[in-house]
Structure 1
Amino acid sequence: MNLTHIEHLGIAVKSIEESLPYYENILGLKCYSVEEVPDQKVKTAFFKIGQTKIELLEPTSEDSTIAKFIEKRGEGIHHIAFATPNVSEALAEAESKGVRLIDPSPRKGAEGLNIAFLHPKSTCSVLTELCEDPNKK
């Protein structure tokens, strides 16, 4: 699979507003984007550190996957995302190697990226996201 770098780490939080002071005042990072992704029932906040981003994920609905994650496991690391030049190709390769897919084809995610998730039952219990920036093709 052609992965170029860790695109971001997704961290589930109950409240972005309550989490921001830690990332900005303690760690010294600057939040550069807050965005709601309605179809995923999530609000996101992004920080950049080197080539990698940190994505805070706040549920916007009690039935969102992030709300369910927090209820079951508490706040914390939710997923790791890898950048790839072509999500469709990466999905096909993963599936051909027996990896269970959550998303059989790419969909739009935060920041306009094409994304898809691999099921943690096939990825050593780590929810894995593949990200492709359509502007960098």
Structure 2
Amino acid sequence: MKNVLGTNVITQIGIIVHDIEKTSQAYADFFGIEKPESFWTDAVEKAETEYRGKSTPARAKLAFFDMGALQLELIQPDEHQSTWREFLEEHGEGVQHIAFVVEGLKEKVQIMESSGMSLIQKGEYTGGRYAYMDTLQDLKVIFELLENDK
């Protein structure tokens, strides 16, 4: 059995929320830390966002908490169809994904797709790219693959 991702280190937990400012403040208050600035993901022209194989204008407001070895990502989706919006509509607020930093993102996506785990959404961010893979059936959570530029 080969490690498909080349890593087993979870780098991030992503939580979908309705109100990022309220939830960020709740985390900040609970842990006695400063509330991070939230910001919107890039527009489709820059992010090249694709959801279920089609370009989408979907964006999300994000806030990041560095929690030791793990990063906690709060995600407030906009109204457009995306993996974030889909999760919120189907499951409500809660943990949507766990993320892993990988090398060779395209290859990892192809390997996973050949194993029946389809690509849900992908896009670019400043410094890298991401892919959300449909690992829900077997692994009970969505895996996000992150590839950072060297």
Q: Quickly name the TM-score band, shorter chain normalised.
A: 0.7 to 0.9
Match of 2:133 in 1: 118
Structure 1 unaligned residues grouped into runs of 5+: none
Q: Take 2:65 and 2:103, find their aligned partners in 1: how far apart are those partners?
A: 22
Name 2:54's counterpart in structure 1: none
Matched, 1:107 2:123: yes
> Would you say how many aligned residue pairs link Structure 1 and Structure 2?
132
Which of 12, 19, 26 pairs up with 2:16? 12
The runs of 5 or more residues in structure 2 that have no matched partner are: 45-57
- Does the C-alpha gap of structure 1 residues 89 and 113 become closer, same or farther in structure 2, counting only changes over 3 Å? same
Render the CA deviation track for 1:46-83: whole Å, top value 9, x for unaligned: 01112221110002226454334223212110111111
> TM-score scaled to structure 2, two decimals?
0.73
Structure number having the greater helix percentage: 1
Find the partner of 1:50 among 68, 79, 82: 68
RMSD: 2.4
- Greater shift in the superposed pair: 35-44 or 118-127: 118-127
- Give the drift of 1:4: 5.6
What letter matches 1:87 in structure 2? Answer: L
State the identity %: 30
C-alpha distance in 1, partners of 2:127/2:19? 23
Moved more, 56-65 or 45-54: 56-65
Separation in 2, partners of 1:66, 1:44: 11
TM-score when normalising by structure 1: 0.79
Which residue is equivalent to 2:146? 131
